[in-house]
Amino acid sequence: MLQTVDPRTLQAEAFRADVLAGLARRQKALPSRWLYDDRGCELFEAITKLEEYYPTRAETAILRMHAAEIADFCGKEAVLLEYGAGAAFKTEILLGALATPRLYVPIDIAGNFLQRTAARIRRRFARLQIRPLAADFTADFEIPSGVPLTPRIGFFPGSTIGNLDEAETLAFLSRMRAHVGPQGKALIGVDLKKDIPTLLAAYDDKKGVTAAFNLNLLARVNCELRGTFALDRYAHEARWNDAESAVEMHLVSLCRQRAAVAGRSFAFAAGETIHTESSRKYSADGFADFARRGGWKIGAMWTDRRFGVFGMCAA
């Protein structure tokens, strides 16, 4: 008899495997997708409202200012596939501007938060069909059958694309290209290069919300993987990596110590870090080059010079 495995079990296994492998590396590292449990999603929403965190305000203003032009670029009866939808507040601007959108497919690894977002969008757009999909966009997955093929628009706001490394970015762009098909289009929000103090402040706010977001990953490990991290013995750090053109988030061990995860013990030297997220910053030309290599033609770019929303067509 064919047995189906609960997706939550698969996700729990993937989390365990990533944490055990990541803590065994010379530079300890945990994939940023695991920052987003229920608490992590709430903390990220709090980050978007911080004075220092300009990307959400910048992208919101761009979407509002150019809503009609962006809607025109997308065309009528769009099927919107949104990658890493989160709370999808900015999506309301796009859905409100689109001419008779046909279907909205918010995709996110954080399944509970995704259901809450879908319920709110349903209340706001009563006539829109919505099919939330819990999936990891860094791995191959199918868009459910029954989602019309044309015209599909891939929407990837929030500069979440900056969390992917070069190989993951190219793989993601090709995957989205396959999802939307040969007539498809995409809108991607990209954070642009700027002065380093502004970038670092956006990931290390005065109120300590980003620190709480980062440390929540250890709390998640403690809760879901029988971890023994003493949260007060690790600190948040944001640093600029010039070679990668990225702000990195790390958790710094404040002393020499050990922590166990799922029965395995890991040693930390004082000052040793766990790398938890990179947020790459692009030049407009640099991102356009990636887009081309991933199978896309740039059709338009809306920008305030801090942030860019790229309108792309399948090449």
Ligand X SMILES: C[S@@+](CC[C@H](N)C(=O)[O-])C[C@H]1O[C@@H](n2cnc3c(N)ncnc32)[C@H](O)[C@@H]1O
Minimum distance from residue 94 beta carbon to ligand X (Å): 11
Shortest Å, Cβ 161 to ligand X: 10
Residue closer to ligand X by CB (options 215, 259) is: 215
Q: Is the CB of 22 or the CB of 86 nearer to ligand X?
A: 86
In the bound complex, what is the minimum distance in angstroms from residue 138's beta carbon to ligand X? 4
What is the distance between the alpha carbons of residues 315 and 293, in angstroms, rounded to a whole number? Answer: 10
Q: Which residue is nearest to ligand X (CB)?
A: 158
Distance of alpha carbon 32 from alpha carbon 186, whole angstroms: 23
Residue closer to ligand X (CB basis): 56 or 253: 56
Binding residues for ligand X, per CB under 6 A? 33, 36, 41, 44, 48, 56, 84-86, 90, 108-110, 136-138, 157-158, 160
Residue among 63 and 259 whose Cβ is closer to ligand X:
63
Nearer to ligand X, 105 or 259 (CB): 105
Burial 190-224 (b: 16+ CB within 10 A, else e): bbbeeeeeebebbbbbeeebbbbbbbbbbbbbbeb
**Helix (H/G/I), strand (E/B), else coil: 204:** coil
C-beta closer to ligand X: residue 177 or 253: 177
Contacts 24+ apart (CB under 8 A), 63-69: 63/90, 63/93, 63/94, 63/157, 63/309, 64/93, 65/302, 66/302, 66/309, 67/93, 67/94, 67/96, 67/97, 68/97, 69/300, 69/302
Minimum CB separation of residue 236 from ligand X in Å reads 16
State the minimum distance, in angstroms, from the CB of residue 195 to ligand X.
Answer: 21
Least Cα distance to 128 among 98, 107, 152 occurs for: 98
Closest CA to 106 of 309, 92, 312: 92
Smallest distance from ligand X to CB 137, Å: 4
Q: Which of 53/229 has CB closer to ligand X?
A: 53
Burial (CB < 10 A; 0-12, 13-18, 19+), residue 150, is middle
Q: How far is the CB of 117 from ligand X (least distance, A)?
A: 9
**Could you give the CA distance from residue 314 to residue 183 in angstroms, rounded to a whole number?**
6
Identify whether the C-beta of residue 23 lies closer than 8 Å to the C-beta of residue 274.
Answer: yes
